A and B are shown apart, each in its own frame.
Chain A
């Protein structure tokens, strides 16, 4: 089998298709996932292939969708349950936070939860405040959950396959503006290990940590800055919980400067945690305060003009990196 160009959305679908083919315990449930194929077409054709018993159209009932997945998972199945938009996790927060994440621990380890929750986050399509959020930090704050956020089609297929095979509850966050983006993707099933970052660009002057769609923007910023003589090392953690801090710190020890970029709001975003860990582990290696480029502390606006101001882009990322790199060393 060979590699071929595949889109982010199709890579997701292929992972689900292959795992469903390989394992009869894998099934899909969610709103519009069956006959309609999912609102982003990520489940296209699966019901036709696997039948209504394995690709289940559910009522618009987010709590019951998660409960369906949890009850089936502790009963030995390997469910994939879809929450159409990431914003909808809020509707199901009790089931996700109080039930799914904690059942194993509360039961003294006796329960196993091989559950994958899939959802779609991110702004950029004028979907406004309730269909555009980046709420990954909330999920990463909950012990018991694992959270992945692929930035490209290759990682999408590998991470989704890993999530389905994982014996812990995972949340797979897709970015709604990445569905059309393509990379080379192997035809055969493969996994990208959970908790392992990727260095997507090597550099010597500054470490840029980012994930999801912001990886594309950060790489574009890195190209711009390379022309100015600034070499960025861009690290995509791929899995947000557990977080691969080792790869980040190893890079920081060489570059001595860090900028963290995310589409989520700055306050209490993952950047805060990543920055805290870096300074705890590698304070003496830092030549400048850790920079952050993130969304402002507001809901996501509807207006395309305002939304463009809201979402970090390559230019703002480049500005943030320039600022961090320009900071002089003092008192030495």
Chain B
């Protein structure tokens, strides 16, 4: 598979402040790529460089095979972009804006009319004749997604596309992005972990200008999931949880109401040897013991949480 985005040792400095520090990233064509990070991590800066709005201080950036430093209209013709706060001509209607956006790509009138209809429908703005100036933030965001798709882009880049949406709007946008899998490369930044978990196949976590990790989402969860052990006993869970909590390898013990104990461990081998012995010593019925799966949120907190203190 070829890469839609290749970033190599990208550094971006503003005076003495480094917004991005030797970032390496590769986004495969056709994937839905989640670019995750807390606020201020450098996600927007990366997207601004990818779209040619800002320039790298150092490093190389290739988009759809073209070096962004020399990229021209030909590259922009194949990308769709939604900034974090899209700015529209408020005197236009949604339909007029989509026509205008399509006109910038030189799309033929007939095709443009068809696409405008489909995209207005997708954005839930069919029949809305008021000017964009009177739209809510959610409506603007949905129109923003629609305008980014007007040229049927090979690479769709979105900066925090769901942050201004209500739960229904979020679901619709995520469903739509998911439906593009395999046809269009979707690269979107977010700080909402649930969005990434729901639709992305690959994820990169950015923290203070550095990529902490980039991996397929399953691999990432499995990698960190192995560090968690879930134990279910028929009775005596409280006392067992307390005893486990005193063990050296147990870094965190959580109790569930149904007798489940979830233990975050520093040494999974030691835990798997000693937990059955502890259960047996107390003559408790062991119903279940397995390597638990860590949610992306826990992975995220584990990877960047320390730095937030």
Query: A and B, one complex?
Result: no
On A, residues with C-beta under 8 Å from B are none
Residues of B participating in the A interface, judged by any CB pair closer than 8 Å: none
